[in-house]
Amino acid sequence: MTDALAVYYYPGTWDWQRDLRQSLVQKAAYRSLADAGALRELGRCSSFLTCYDAWAVTVDDFAPVKIGQDVSALVRDPDEPERGLTTPDGSGVVYACRVDLLAVDARDEYWVVRHELRSEHWRPMTELLLDEEALAACWAWQQDYIGMEMAGTIHNEIRVDDTRSLPADDTATDAAESVAQHSASGGGRSIPQHVRISALAARPDDRDRIEQRTAGPIRRTRIRRSRAEIAAAGRAIAVEAIEMTRSPAVYPSPGEHCVECEFTKPCQAMFEGADPEALLASGFRRHSAGERNRPRLGQATWGFGRGAAPPNW
């Protein structure tokens, strides 16, 4: 289903005729089910996608910009925002995620869209408001694409198990005000994009934070996210990253292995209440960050892009 939705919202075919675009969606569903060995579900999936198209035209008031986009962002030190976090070996800490769909509306506002397959029940509103993964995606996108501001998140919930309420594909009559790809605010454009003055003027001052529309087994929840809310998500990621990358505390654990342990003397000094630093300084040395084991053939490689160079092995 998610593979078919990626084709459905492909920016390059957004302005195509619905029948032609839908044929590509059905082919994508067939390939995905064939790869998974689940062609027995093809009929059910095909009928559902046909109905999804009929419902989606009533709620799709945006244009796709990117689909299945991998985003990575350098995690910054919460105490020194101008400096990125590093691991004990000096490597940078990077947060990576995949965004199902980046969409833009007629007012040049960008939204992170998440496709969520549900069974029978919708997600509670509190759960949607506190969706850490969606908030983190907004923060990561703004870090990866400097200059862009995310307006919020759109949760595209689909009840795939609710087949009882599937209507015919021609029941949707009230189409939403769609955004064409070829328009100034359409999908498939380069990002970041300059926000038009006319689009800014068209934004109402009394915008609701939460807008929700339901069409059959599809529920579309649009949640506006404040600058502070998105920034807080980045700080939360940084705090968790610090805990994850912190060097673990090592405590003495006497046992039979002590007979062959090379650290027996400093360990005994610790148990006797003495300072083991002198023994460690005289009898041991720290490995430098550059001392790494060379990988075996085929175990590691490097890029061949412009300016790329092999590691210093």
Burial category of 61 from C-beta neighbours within 10 Å (exposed 0-12, middle 13-18, buried 19 and up): middle
Neighbours of 172 (CB within 10 A): 19
136/150 Cα distance (integer angstroms): 11
In which residue are the tokens 């996210």 written?
A: 225
Burial category of 205 from C-beta neighbours within 10 Å (exposed 0-12, middle 13-18, buried 19 and up): exposed
**In this structure, which amino acid lies at residue 81?**
P
First and final C-alpha spacing in the chain: 45
Tokens of 93: 């800490």
Q: Do residues 182 and 58 lie in contact, with contact meaning Cβ atoms separated by under 8 Å?
A: no
Chunked mean pLDDT (size 10), the chain, 313 residues: 89 85 91 90 86 84 89 90 84 92 87 90 92 95 90 91 57 58 51 61 70 86 94 93 79 78 86 86 76 53 52 55
71/250 Cα distance (integer angstroms): 35
Q: Do residues 100 and 114 lie in contact, with contact meaning Cβ atoms separated by under 8 Å?
A: yes
Neighbours of 131 (CB within 10 A): 18
> Helix, strand or coil for residue 90?
coil
Tokens of 209: 């934070």
Does the global pTM surpass 0.75? no
Q: Do residues 264 and 284 lie in contact, with contact meaning Cβ atoms separated by under 8 Å?
A: no
CA dihedral over 106, 205, 208, 236, signed as positive or negative: positive
Q: Contacts for 305-313 with beta carbons within 8 Å, 24 or more apart?
A: none
233/241 Cα distance (integer angstroms): 12
DSSP secondary structure code for residue 160 in this structure? T
**In this structure, which amino acid lies at residue 58?**
T
All structural domains of the chain with their residue ranges: 58-244, 251-288
Residue 182: predicted pLDDT: 54
Residue 102: predicted pLDDT: 93
Residue 309: predicted pLDDT: 54
Q: Do residues 147 and 110 lie in contact, with contact meaning Cβ atoms separated by under 8 Å?
A: no
Name beta bridge partners: 248. Answer: none
Tokens of 50: 């046909």
